[in-house]
């Protein structure tokens, strides 16, 4: 397999024993596609992998956001926590099903007068279609900033708002998110 890959793409093999939580989302997403090796098209993942492997370059010192490095589940957790605080509500756990392709979860305000649904995309995945609901506010977040031209009243969650929220509420975040925040601040990839 190693010889086959090097005939297809220019590559450099790095031997490592990284934990899953230490692997950038762009790498995980590329390997999740199946048995074949795929080109990683996530610049943040490429730069961070270079830094992790000790092949530091000037590119690894560019400003960067941890949002591009956390995996899809971590990103959904962060957006869920953010919206619970912003909307003064609760996330309904049973609404967070993988089989639900349209949105990630439902949040209901504490007094029950507001409902919200959200779609979250990590890596290079765009949001192709705005959410539609008769009884819920609709929120969108894509790491790559690729949204449909017709938002149909959906609210885009700005990356800066998530980053500010994460640093302000660091103590309540899941460990994989804070791990990326620490790695970036220690490695010079500061958000």
113-130 tens-digit pLDDT: 999 999 999 877 899 999
What are the tokens at 59?
């590119």
Nearest alpha carbon to residue 43 among 31, 57, 59: 59
Q: Is the pLDDT of residue 164 over 90?
A: yes
Q: How far is CA 55 from the centre of its chain?
A: 24
Strands 137-142 and 155-156: parallel
Q: Where are the beta strands (DSSP E) in the chain?
A: 89-92, 105-109, 115-121, 137-142, 155-156
135-151 tens-digit pLDDT: 999 999 999 999 999 99
- Listed in sequence order, the residues at least 6 apart from 19 whose beta carbon sits closer than 8 Å to its beta carbon are none
Q: CATH classification of 72-173 is 3.40.1350.10, yes or no?
A: yes
- Any idea where the domains of the chain sit in the sequence? 2-64, 72-173
Confidence (pTM): 0.75
């Amino acid at each position: 397999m190693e010889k086959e890959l090097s005939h297809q793409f220019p590559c450099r093999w790095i031997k490592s024993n990284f934990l899953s939580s230490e692997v950038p989302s762009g790498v995980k997403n590329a390997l999740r596609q199946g048995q074949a090796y795929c080109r990683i098209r996530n610049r943040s993942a490429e730069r961070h992998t270079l830094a992790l492997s000790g092949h530091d370059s000037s590119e690894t010192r560019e400003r960067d956001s941890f949002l591009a490095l956390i995996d899809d589940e971590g990103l959904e957790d962060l957006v869920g926590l953010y919206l619970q605080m912003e909307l003064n509500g609760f996330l309904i756990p049973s609404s967070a099903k993988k089989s639900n392709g349209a949105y990630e979860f439902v949040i209901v305000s504490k007094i029950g007068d507001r409902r919200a649904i959200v779609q979250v995309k990590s890596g290079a995945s765009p949001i192709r279609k705005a959410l539609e609901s008769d009884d819920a506010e609709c929120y969108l977040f894509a790491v790559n900033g690729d949204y449909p031209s017709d938002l149909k009243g959906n609210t885009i969650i700005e990356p800066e708002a998530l980053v500010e929220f994460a640093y302000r509420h660091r103590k309540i975040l899941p460990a994989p998110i804070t791990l990326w925040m620490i790695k970036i601040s220690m490695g010079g990839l500061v958000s």
